[in-house]
Amino acid sequence: MVHMKNQAREMAYAQFGTKRFVGLQDVAIDLNRLTEPGLWAIIGTFEGSWLLLKFEKEYENPIDYQGTWNGIDPNNWISSMNQSEYESAVDGLREHISKGDVYQANICRVLATEISEEGFDIEGLANLLTTGNPAPYSCVISVKQDAHERLTKDVALVSASPELFLERRKQHISSSPIKGTGKTEQDLTEKDRAENVMIVDLVRNDLSRVCQTGSVNVPSLLETQVHPGLVHLVSTVEGELKQDVTWSEIFDATFPPGSVSGAPKISALNLIKKFEKSARGPYCGAIGWINTFNDTALIAVGIRTFWKDKNKLRFGTGAGITWGSEPLKEWQETQLKCAKLFEVASKTHSK
């Protein structure tokens, strides 16, 4: 039994781009543990629970994932909201916007499909995503339940996130929210641009709570970024952290990410609970790494992310809703965000 546990710990890893963490040392759920020196892989659910995986060492590893993936029929995904339910939720939220309860909020749905243990290694899917949907904040986290007594299930997650939640370099911190999505740049509208600026203001406010007065600025506004199958509007907000600020305080100020919640954030979160049918989990949460030895970190927003939940594979998609939203177009945006990833996941890969 001890040998099996040691083997599971040795096999556990988290890889972010070409940075690979190995040698699982500890598992925690308390953000205050991030005051300890260590190499941490983190998964924060949108609902606010945290899984912190402490590793012994890191090294540069070429992206060459092994594993078998048998492929998933795109028609086999079951959504937490069908089209009618989603469009009704958009209409309901627009009514709250008309009353001034909120300016903007995301409405999301989580899709699931059953998979077996055989033939569905998360590494096989990661290999397909690496070539079929490359992303700036790609990652794979693979830890078996047997690797640590505090784990209640396997951790198997692969992400092709295009969105930076937080990057830290000593006292410098930045965030690059995405707001605005289309098939081409010509599809981006004034509604997209207004929504992006609205979320930039929210992120500026969030960071100002943990940054030195006057240090928060916006070096890039409404930049168009091209990704597989779609384009996004992206802005960047940055600042200089106050001395001795902790990660718990940083997340308390900034989480969940503004781009996938809404403005004002507390009002948006309340309405999300009202209209959405299921918990988002790591989707729209935070996925990344923190090196507390040297105060560096790179944490993505948990979008474009697949994760295994026992015998199910899950994936989330959503859209930002404003008064100018048209329910059908918002539904189509959630479909667009699924399309390329589901196409990739439908393919097969062998070890």
Residues of the chain whose pLDDT is less than 70?
1-5
Domain assignment of residue 68, yes or no? no
Domain assignment of residue 350, yes or no? no
CB 332 within 8 A of CB 225: no
Domain assignment of residue 348, yes or no? no
Cα distance between residue 349 and residue 346, in whole Å: 10
Domain assignment of residue 218, yes or no? yes
Residue 276, pLDDT score:
97
Residue 243, pLDDT score:
95
Residue 2, pLDDT score:
56
Domain assignment of residue 99, yes or no? yes
How many structural domains is the chain composed of?
Answer: 1
Residue 147, pLDDT score:
93
Residue 183, pLDDT score:
87
- CATH number, domain at 197? 3.60.120.10
Task: Give the domain extent around 197.
Answer: 2-63+75-309+317-343
Residue 4, pLDDT score:
56
Domain assignment of residue 245, yes or no? yes
Beta strand segments in the chain, E: 13-16, 19-28, 39-44, 50-60, 78-79, 104-114, 137-143, 155-161, 164-169, 172-176, 178-182, 217-227, 230-240, 262-263, 286-291, 296-301, 305-309, 312-321
Alpha helices in 102-209 (DSSP H): 122-132, 190-208
Burial class (CB in 10 A: 0-12, 13-18, 19+), 78: exposed
Residue 5, pLDDT score:
62
Domain assignment of residue 55, yes or no? yes
Domain assignment of residue 188, yes or no? yes
